[in-house]
Structures are given as structure tokens and as C-alpha cells.
Structure 1
Amino acid sequence: MRLIWAGLAVAGLYSGYWLAGTTVLERGAAMALEGARAEGRGNAEALETGGFPARFALNVTRPELADPVAGWHWSAPSAQLWAPGWSPLELHLDMHPESQLTLGGQRFTLTNSTGSGRLSLGLAPDLPLKGVQAELRYVALRPEGSAEATLAAARIDAAAERTDAPATYRVTAGVGDVTLPPGTMADALGAPLPDRIDALTLDATLRLDADLSATAQTTPPRIEEIDLQALSLDWAGRGLSASGGLRITATGQPEGTIQISTAEWRDWLDIAVAAGWIEARRLPALTGLGAYIAQQNGGVLRVPLAFQSGRASLGPVPLGPAPVLQRQ
């Protein structure tokens, strides 16, 4: 009999815990939705809680997200935001397999076989970000009224996890079997590259000037340093890898050196010339120099991509102004 009463007491306590958690989730979502509506950045037809007893769940009917300034709008029939009952600060997002996306006035249908995300927050007043992850499988972007996708990928993965160092996050990402719109490379670069990327992966550590958190921030944290452990590209048998470190100045420009390595350096030189990045008259001299350097490294060419005083250069070749990586 005591076991029965104990079980009933535990069930009652958990029911109260679940009810309190779903109430907080529902109120927080309602406040966020109200703010998004007021700013013209989001909307939803209905919010409904559920998931008892295993999870806290919020079912969203016809969610919408938008950025009026950038000119994009996204909507879907439904989405679900949920957290395990034993870990309410580990939020998950399950996407509908089909949604609508408007870019620059053009409407697209976005499909995926798997679309999910995870956001882990720390137990502190400002809800510090512990980690975030997104996973998409067999993604396709198709213009309205067309049966053919203009952009597709077999997989897209991205994650950021806080390290033990203050305001420092490890970022990993990867895409595979990406199909670009026909003629993209020819139109954009005039380069002899197919409109298909086999794989692109990234492993880097970012140090910011402040921790990321779920609370409202007047300005987003600024990136101060980038430690690029590995960046690799496989494009139709042409491989490229890079690693190095950069410091980001107060004006958002990089300072430092990234070491680039490739065994297919002759192909990349031809592409750089076709794209107009390197003058054609420089090609014979650069080919000779590349052959000499690669000969010393087993056929692999290693050249520094250097950023200094607002300028960029690839080995001995000046590339012009350095890019602005983060505007203030």
C-alpha cells in the first residue's frame, strides 16, 4: 500500500512539474510570437502544448519567419519545438518535410527528408548557449511551378559547441553532394567547374568578445579570433584544404595567414585565371614557381593566403582588399 501511495505521490509531483514546464514554454512562445508579429518578423496560426509525459512539446501551426530588410520569407504547414522531460533546457526542433521560401520576390518550395535542430542552454539567469546543432538530409530548393530543383544537397550538418575557454566555441559543418543551378560556375566565374560539389567540411574554433546567450542582446558578440583547424573541399576530383589562424580587427577585417594545400594546383590556377583573379600573363611564371614548390612537397603545393593591413595576397600574388568578415 505504501508503494502505491509513493507511486501516486511521484506521479503527482511529476505531473505538476510537467504542467509548470509546459506553461512556461507556452507563455515564452506566446511572448516571442507577439514580439515577432509586432516587428513583422514572424507569425503563427496557433500554438498548442503536448507531449506528456516524456517531453515538453509545443506544436506550431503554420509558422512564418521573415526579414523585411533582407527580403526573405519562410513558412511551413507545421513545426514542433520540444524538450525532454528530464532536460527542459535542451530544445529540439522538428521541421515539416515541405515549406515555402521567398527570396527576392521569387517563391520556392523547400523539401527535405529530415530536418531537425537542437539548442542546449545552461542553467543561469542569462541562459548561456552550450551548443546548437542542425541536420538536414536530401534538401531541394525548387522554384514555384517547376518540377526541377535548382539547388539540392544530400546532407547539410552544422554544429557549435562551447569549449572550456571563455566565449570560445568549436564550429563544425559539412555539406555533401551539392547540386548548384545549371551554369552557375560558368556565369559567376567563367570557370571550368561542374555545377556539383562532392563535399565541403569545416572544423574551426571561434573566440568572441562575449558569451552567446538566449537573452536579448543589444549587439551580437564580435568575433575576435578564428582558429581554422581544417577546411577541405572536394570538387569533381579537385581537392583543396586549408588551416591557420586569423585575428579580426575592430573594423571586421582579418589579420593573419591561412595555409592552403592542393595537389591539383594546376587546375586551380586555370580556374583562377578564367575567373579573373589572376592575370593571364602571370600564368607561365606562376606555373613554373608552383612546379618548383610542389616538387619539394611530393607534388602538393602549399601557399599562404595572407591578410595584412587590409590587403590580401596568395603567395606572391596580390589579391586586393581583404574582405570584411563582420560589420560593426
Structure 2
Amino acid sequence: MRALLTLIVIATLGWSGYWFVGQRGLEQAFGQWFDTRRAEGWVAETSDLSVLGFPNRFDTSFDDLALADPDTGLAWEAPFFQILTLSYRPNHVIAVWPDDQMIATPQDKFRVQSTDMRASLVIAPNTALAPERATLTAEFLRVAPLARPDDTTALTALTLAAERNDGASYRFGLSAEGLSPSTPWRARLDPKNTLPAQLAGLRADMTVSFDKPWDRTAIEDARPQPTHIKLDLADAAWGQLQLQAAGEVSVDAAGQPTGEITIKARNWRDILDLAVASGAVPESLAKTLESGLSMMAQMAGNQQTLDIPLGFRNGRVMLGPTPLGPAPVLHLR
């Protein structure tokens, strides 16, 4: 009995020592990270940094957190942020965001409000801290520019999942429920107010290859840039309108895509009417475009469904030999 008691005491002291060493190591590592960012010209401030959770957790909390990268113009402010880990499984991390935070880009500043926004990350057990898989969820999400608080985009539920395949290739899954477009965006897209206030759903499944893995250098140095995108399926439903997309593009160093994405549009005439009403398609071209698209639908065997192959080349979006406009630049700041 005495030997067992001695063993328990030794194990308890050993575990306590491990926890307090780990606590001290985390506090020093995060403090050094903030010091290094400030030396590089960042804004990197927190009013309090603490590690609690003895004996089975390392719960790191930051109060009044402010980060700003002068090279990209990106900034983030939050009243608190938490990184929660089990002391016996330190590479599995839970990140918890506040219900109210601010994100700034070179173009605008946004207020982000959410309910139970958190992420689960499994990180590679090395100093690069590269996520192997991650899931971000929120029961409610609202984003609005600070200068235009009524210009609000909201979701009732969000799930974003990512898993590293190999090297710098990642598979992403997105599910967004109850998407309510902002009032100005809706007014431009649906000026006659014929569609419901919310999209029924938005889903996407894709694999993206980058020029380097996502790890701690993505914050400290530069964001990885996409080099190849394989869109297995994107699906959006808004009232009687439904769009699906699939395809594959390569992305060069300038962010220009080359490849093809096929759009499947159900009730495509209604979509064309919206495009004309919003001014995206000139009214003078509506009849000509409707005749051409109708012929394409008839050739496919379903007049209500239209398959539109969009080509991306030389910085342009092409419908067959016809240029539709400039291609999006796929570059992460």
C-alpha cells in the first residue's frame, strides 16, 4: 500500500511538473512571437496573455488582441481569443472566437458578429505548425462594413472543413445555410425583389494546390498562393434558381486562371431576366443571347437546364470564342 501511495505521489508530482513547464513554455513562445512581429513593424498587442487549465489542459487566452500586417494591410481586433488544447494531446487545438470582432483589409473595415464560432485543428507535430485537418463552424454569422452597418451579409449556419492531402494540396468543403445577401448587393442582383430573402443553401467541394503548405509562415511571412483548383461541385439554390459548377483551372504566378468551369443553370431564362434587370447584360443583347442559349439547351435535350462551359485563358472569361469579360485574379493578400 505504501509503495502504491509513493508511486501515485511521484506520478502526480511528475505530471504537475510537466504541466507547469508546458505552461511556462507556451507563455514564453507566444510572448516571443508578439515581440518578433513588433520588431518587423506589425501591430501586435494583447492586454493579457494567460495559460490556465491545470492539470489536463493548456488553455491560452488573449485579451484585447490587435494584429496588423503592414505589408498586406490586413488587420484583426478581438476582445478575446482562446486556443484550447489537452495537455496530453497538444497537437489537437480548439480555437474560440468572440461574438464580436473587427477585420480590416486595404479596401474596408468589417464588423464580424457570430454565435459559437470555433475551429478544431489537428496540427503536424513539428515547429512549422502546419494544420493537417481543420473544421470551422458558426451557428450564426453576420458581416457588415463599419462605415455601412446596414450593408449586412448574414448566415444562419456555417461549416468549413479542410484536410491536407499531401505536400501543399488541400481538400475543402463548404456548407452555408440561410445566406442573406446584403441589401445593396441584393438590389443590384434582384432589383424587382422577386427572390426570397435567403438562399436555400450554398455548398462546395474542391481540391486546391498551393505553392507552399499552410503553416506558421502563412501569417508571419506570406500567404500561400493557389496553383491549381479542381472544383468537384459547387451548388447554390435561390428560390426557383439553381446553379451548379464543376471544372478545373491552373493558376499562374500572377493569379491568372487557365482552364474550364462548366456552369449548369436550371430555369436559366429566369437567371437571364435577372441579369438583364440588374444591368449585367445589356437589354439590347438579351434577345440575341436568349436565342443562342435556347439553341444550346435544345441541343442538350432539356430546355429548362443549360450547361455553359466557361473557358479561362489570357486573362479573359470565354464562352466558346466569345470573350465575356476579364477573368478574376486569384491572389491571396
Q: TM-score range with shorter-chain normalisation?
A: 0.7 to 0.9
Q: Indicate yes or no: 2:209 matched with 1:207.
A: yes
Q: What residue identity is the alignment partner of 1:56?
A: F
Give, in angstroms, the shift of residue 64 of structure 1.
Answer: 2.2
Cα deviation digits, residues 54-101 of structure 1 (max 9, x gap): 211112222223456776754333222111122212222112223456
Scaled by the length of structure 1, the TM-score of the pair is 0.85
Equivalents in 1 of 2:259, 2:148: separation in Å?
45
Conserved in 1, the CA contact under 8 Å of 2:150 and 2:183? no
Q: 1:51 to 1:233 in 2, by over 3 A?
A: same
Q: Indicate yes or no: 2:276 matched with 1:268.
A: no
Conserved in 1, the CA contact under 8 Å of 2:139 and 2:157? yes
Deviates more, 1:74-83 or 1:100-109: 100-109
Equivalents in 2 of 1:251, 1:265: separation in Å?
33
Equivalents in 2 of 1:69, 1:287: separation in Å?
46
Conserved in 2, the CA contact under 8 Å of 1:185 and 1:193? no
The aligned length equals 327
Q: 1:188 to 1:261 in 2, by over 3 A?
A: closer
Q: 1:206 to 1:101 in 2, by over 3 A?
A: closer
Q: Given the alignment, which residue of 310, 316, 320 partners 1:305?
A: 310
Partner of 1:10: 11
Q: 1:113 to 1:138 in 2, by over 3 A?
A: same
Structure 2 SS opposite 1:19? helix
Q: What residue identity is the alignment partner of 1:169?
A: Y
Conserved in 2, the CA contact under 8 Å of 1:121 and 1:129? yes
Conserved in 2, the CA contact under 8 Å of 1:251 and 1:327? no
Q: 1:211 to 1:73 in 2, by over 3 A?
A: closer
Give, in angstroms, the shift of residue 273 of structure 1.
Answer: 2.8
Q: What residue identity is the alignment partner of 1:21?
A: G
Equivalents in 1 of 2:248, 2:58: separation in Å?
42
Partner of 2:23: 22
Structure 2 SS opposite 1:34? helix
Q: What residue identity is the alignment partner of 1:241?
A: Q
Q: Percent identity?
A: 28
Equivalents in 1 of 2:169, 2:32: separation in Å?
30
Equivalents in 2 of 1:224, 1:115: separation in Å?
30
Scaled by the length of structure 2, the TM-score of the pair is 0.84
Q: Given the alignment, which residue of 236, 243, 268 partners 1:240?
A: 243
Give, in angstroms, the shift of residue 209 of structure 1.
Answer: 2.6
List alignment gaps of at least 5 residues for structure 2: none
Equivalents in 2 of 1:69, 1:218: separation in Å?
9
Give, in angstroms, the shift of residue 29 of structure 1.
Answer: 1.3
Conserved in 1, the CA contact under 8 Å of 2:189 and 2:275? no
Deviates more, 1:239-248 or 1:145-154: 145-154
Conserved in 1, the CA contact under 8 Å of 2:137 and 2:158? yes
Structure 2 SS opposite 1:196? coil
Cα deviation digits, residues 274-307 of structure 1 (max 9, x gap): 3444333332233233333334343321110111
List alignment gaps of at least 5 residues for structure 1: none
Q: 1:147 to 1:226 in 2, by over 3 A?
A: closer
Partner of 1:286: 289
Cα deviation digits, residues 169-223 of structure 1 (max 9, x gap): 0012222212233232324786866563332222110112322222476443332
Q: 1:186 to 1:221 in 2, by over 3 A?
A: same
Equivalents in 2 of 1:188, 1:68: separation in Å?
35
Aligned-residue CA RMSD (Å): 3.2
Structure 1 SS opposite 2:223? coil
